[in-house]
Amino acid sequence: MRAKGWIIMATSLALAACQDDRTAAKTPASPRAPTVVIGGDGVVSTWRPPQVEVTAANAAALASQADIALAQGRFVDDASGALPLFLALGRYPPMRTRAEAGIDHAVTGLLQQARTALARIDEETDALAAVRRAAGVLRVVALERADVQRFLQAVDRVEEGQRYALLGEQALARNEVGESGQGGSIGWFRRALALRATDARALQGLAAAESALIRRAETAASQEDYSAASRWLDLAMNVRTENAAVAQARASIAFQRGRRIGDLRDAGIAALSQPRGIEIARSHLAHLLRIALPGDAAGAELRRKIDFAVHYGAFEPGQRFTEALVDGGRGPRMAVVPHGHFRMGTPEGQADGSEAERPVRVVRFPRGLAVALAETTVGEFRRFVTATGYRPRSSRRGYSIIYDERSGNFVRRGNVDWTRDYRGLPAADDLPVVHVSAKDATAYAEWLAAQTGHRYRLPSEAEFEYALRAGSSSRYPWGDDGPPPGAGNFTGEGDRSSSGRRWQNAFPGYTDGAWGPTPVARFSSDRFGLHDMAGNVSEWVSDCWHASYRRAPRDARAWVNPGCRQRVLRGGSWASSPAQTRSAWRSGLDAETTNARIGFRVVRDL
């Protein structure tokens, strides 16, 4: 039924199109049989002119009524409309000429009304129904007119667009969006818009299809499938030229994604301080990397934090810190030395090397280490003694070894303890503490551990050399020749004592302006940020003395034998020869030894 109706209508239009508009306008109207029209949405529209009986007695009155209806724009409302009246009058011979003119004016008026309604069909819900009613009438009474044919063709396009829009809505209800643009709801809506670009129904359908794609993107995003969400949004971008909703959805999903990534990063970082924290943080990182874009900054940050946690705990390489003490105040300033490896000892053929420094071995540090920036000072050691009542070896013994200016020798002198400087005079708090034994140094480190809750201790011999070298493999930390200006407190050719003495075995051309230990950290730091590792005072480490490195640990642990009496001394001092300032130099002394050249510094496990 539908196809047959369209074929009949198209044939009628083709025949009518061959007539001249002006001729068609002058063709006398005559009554027609009712015409049945099937619209694009399946609505059947018919119009049968109401029957009006015209007689000699009422003809004039009916003609007046028709003129009034025509003037009022009432063309086909009912039997009182202009067209039904003029059509009836046209069958009454005395009124035929007048009726033909009235029919022509009524058709023109109805056509104008229909065109106005057609222009409003996207804004007014009832306008399309009015257009269909008018089209049904015009097909019956004025199909010959060219302007009516053009109007009916426009109506046919609207009806066809409505049919396409309906098919699009039905496809959308079945979730057949047609995201490729070639089929589904989007394809039907675009066919409707190809017929009429302002078709509100089709435009609304495209907006609904776009919304469906956006919902798919949001669903994918809620499942953390952001790649799929991005694909759905890319397809939605091509649905309409106006795609602000897509941009808003993309921004919302990006914000949601960023917040989720940030939450995973924060959870991973927080987990690092918990038991099994690294394992948990790695799980968060894997989750983060699954949903983040390549190179995401949050992923890089969490990976870096995990790497640092593996190697440095809660710290970062190069970081400096101090920790609060239970009794008040702060502990020593520490620097985080990076993990790594180095070749420990002196290779064959290096000048001044000894068998005590061989064989060379590679020592690896899987974790970083916090090392005190400087030697322990008199003030820091005083805080320990005051807090604990500890009596260092020199205090109990009543003497120590000092430098005697008159003789230029190191001599034993009474009433000298850790509170004195290298000459036996009261020491300033910022000087490195000397006149302390290895056991005194260990006691101080154990007190720090108790005060902070972290493992402070003396460094192992391997840790000390690794920190002293600071990445170098040369004879000295700075190279193979004499020290650069300001490198540290060493025996320099230009140094003079208060009485004018000079060193017989010193670095040529070097002077630091000091004779005896200087306040800590006066000279420049090394690449790890540490001061005075190779000079100022030699330092106790935790290893027992062994005459060589044969059977030494392959890692950085201290080489300790139960009950050993000799401990290792590392690093040059203000009174050490150039050979004793080398990076690999080491010596063994009785653990109870105290003198004006030996101090210590602490390290902290991370």
User: Which pLDDT value is given to residue 89?
Assistant: 96
- Average pLDDT of the segment spanning 572-583: 97
What torsion do the CA atoms of 340, 346, 349, 351 make, to the nearest 10 degrees?
Answer: 120
pLDDT of residue 43: 46
- pLDDT grade for 273, boundaries at 50, 70 and 90: confident
Q: What residues make up the domain containing 264?
A: 255-312
Tally of domains in the chain: 3
Identify the pLDDT of residue 77: 83
Query: How much is the pLDDT for 181?
Result: 64
Own/partner contacts of 341-347, CB < 8 Å, gap of 24 or more, are 341/365, 342/465, 342/466, 342/469, 342/471, 342/473, 343/473, 344/462, 344/465, 344/466, 344/549, 344/584, 345/549, 345/584, 346/582, 346/584
Determine the pLDDT at residue 41. 44
204: pLDDT strictly greater than 50? yes
> 123-175 pLDDT, tens per residue?
998 999 999 999 999 999 999 999 999 999 999 999 999 999 999 999 999 99
Looking at the fold, whether 379 and 510 belong to one and the same domain comes out as yes
pLDDT of 2: 33
Q: State which of 142, 171, 191 marks the end of a domain.
A: 142
- pLDDT at residue 47, as a whole number: 85
Integer distance in angstroms from the first to the last C-alpha of the chain?
Answer: 88
Whether residues 483 and 590 fall in one domain: yes
Residue 42 located in a structural domain: yes
Percent above pLDDT 90 for the chain: 87
For 393-434, write each residue's pLDDT tens digit: 999 999 999 999 999 999 999 999 999 999 999 999 999 999
Asked whether residue 130 is domain-assigned, the answer is yes
| CATH number of the domain encompassing residue 407 | 3.90.1580.10
Shared-domain flag, residues 346 and 494? yes
Summarize the confidence of residues 541-569 as an average pLDDT. 96
Return the closest-CA partner of residue 385 out of 415, 355, 324, 429.
429
Average predicted confidence (pLDDT) for the chain: 91
Instruction: Tell me if 282 is assigned to some domain.
Output: yes
| Distance (Å, whole) CA 349 – CA 584 | 13
Residue 197 domain flag: no
Residues 394 and 487 in one domain: yes
Give domain status of residue 460, yes or no.
yes
Residue 516 has pLDDT above 70, yes or no: yes
What pLDDT is stored for residue 45 in this prediction?
Answer: 54
Quote the pLDDT of residue 180.
75
Is the same domain home to 306 and 399? no
The whole-model pTM stands at 0.66
pLDDT of residue 29: 40
142, 168, 195 - which closes a domain: 142
Mean pLDDT over 288-297 rounds to 95
Q: How far apart are CA 331 and CA 517, in angstroms?
A: 22
pLDDT at residue 179, as a whole number = 83
* Residue at which a domain ends, from 142, 160, 179: 142
| Mean pLDDT to the nearest integer, 516-522 | 98
Averaged pLDDT, 447-467 = 98
Cis omega before residue 359 (within 30°)? yes
> What local confidence, expressed as pLDDT, does residue 410 receive?
97
